[in-house]
Amino acid sequence: MAREKIIGPGGPSDDDRKRDAALRPKLLREVIGQKKVAERLQIAVDASRKLKEPLGHILFDGPPGLGKTTFATVLPNELSTTIQMTSGPALSKPADMLPFLTNLEEGSILFIDEIHRMPRVVEEFIYPAMEDFRIDIVLGEGVNARTISMTLKRFTLIGATTRGGMLSGPMRDRFKMREHLDYYTIGELAQIVGINAKKLNTPVSDGACNEIARRSRGTPRVANSLLHWARIYSAARSDGTISEPLAHEALDVKEVDADGLDKNDRRYLEVLIDVFSGGPTGVEAIGATMNISTDTLTDEIEPYLLREQFLVRSPRGRMATPKAFALLQKPFPKPRPDEKGPSLFD
């Protein structure tokens, strides 16, 4: 198995992430769902082994909690190499990269989470590292400044981002593989819940796995968190096993929406429908009313609402669909003859 080296600030830190790390699949064949992505990665891994060449640089993008870090940590296990982990915000200047670059081993992996938050000056510093496995270091200042070139071990950079569109073109182009992770089906999430319950030595019924999956917003990280809650609930109120009725009870106590939406999803739709009459309206206006940054709305909340068809994006702005009106038990407004009311066809 890979040895995981975590150097410096950044990388996973909160409780959820620590818990997730313990439940992470170790090998590609243990990864559930994302079949096409896993297949392409397996091909790249097999080729890397046969050709004895490092894996090409890989970029994962997609909403939070869908497995970007999981894929990144599975790859060094497959290749019996090491991984160093950091994140874009922890790299404020080129010198912050040096400990990572000088610690590289031949074929090892450097993982940069939230790579879109890396400053441009750091980005430009690592271009030659990604292309030619060398970096240029400037020593001294002013007229005495001189540049020395340092050769690096051949490595693989894995970047993860929730905002693929925010990466500069030159940065994106330097990744040989770019993989988008999408939300999981209920069946896939139920499988993940079953496997993780076993890892936690918690007996769980198929019905309970499905119930937890249904309320997990298409996201394995949410499924893990709900499984943990159901486990704790059962230990406190029952016999430690998770049956379907117990899962219902536990998730109702936690006030997890039976439609799989979380509090922010629901509030987004309430604001769009109650304050903006269902739209169309700009995301900035919704963000200002909710007091949530537009980045959070576009990266974390909207992708799921769009996928579940509660929301459409039109050139005139965001619009609630009839399904969203039905969810909130509000009548879908008919356009007045003198106005273009909510229309899903703009």
Ligand X SMILES: Nc1ncnc2c1ncn2[C@@H]1O[C@H](COP(=O)(O)OP(=O)(O)OP(=O)(O)O)[C@@H](O)[C@H]1O
- The rounded Cα 32 to chain-centroid distance in angstroms is 15
- Closer CB to ligand X, 109 or 312, in the complex: 109
| Catalytic status, residue 117 | no
Per the residue annotation, which of 161, 162, 219, 281 is the catalytic one? 162
The answer to the question of residue 33 lying near ligand X (CB under 6 A) is yes
Contact status, residue 310 vs residue 323, Cβ threshold 8 Å: yes
**Interface map 290-309 toward ligand X (x if CB under 6 A):** --------------------
Q: Which of 2, 55, 66, 212 binds ligand X (CB under 6 A)?
A: 66
Beta bridge partners of 314: 317
The answer to the question of residue 192 lying near ligand X (CB under 6 A) is yes
- Closer CB to ligand X, 232 or 288, in the complex: 232
The answer to the question of residue 202 lying near ligand X (CB under 6 A) is no
Helix or strand run (H / E) with residue 158: strand 156-161
The answer to the question of residue 216 lying near ligand X (CB under 6 A) is no
189 annotated among ligand-binding-site residues? no
Stretches 65-73, 168-176, 286-294, 332-340: which one binds ligand X (CB under 6 A)? 65-73
217 annotated among ligand-binding-site residues? no
Tally of CA atoms within 13 A in the half-sphere of 307 that contains its CB: 19
The answer to the question of residue 55 lying near ligand X (CB under 6 A) is no
Which residues lie below 8 Å from residue 235, measured CB to CB, with a gap of 6+?
none
104 annotated among ligand-binding-site residues? no
Question: CA nearest 205: which of 190, 219, 216?
Answer: 190
| Catalytic status, residue 182 | no
DSSP string, 222-243: HHHHHHHHHHHHHHHHSSS-B-
Burial label for 270, CB within 10 Å (0-12, 13-18, 19+), is: middle
What b/e readout covers 85-99, taking b as 16+ CB neighbours within 10 angstroms?
A: bbbbebbeebebbee
CA distance 141 to 223: 53
| Catalytic status, residue 161 | no
Site for ligand X in 4-23 (CB under 6 A): 20, 23
Per the residue annotation, which of 82, 221, 231, 262 is the catalytic one? 221
Q: What are the residues binding ligand X (CB under 6 A)?
A: 20, 23-25, 31-34, 64-70, 113, 160, 192, 220-221, 224
Active site residues: 68-69, 113, 162, 221
Q: Which residues are annotated as a binding site for ATP?
A: 23-24, 65, 68-70, 131-133, 174, 184, 221
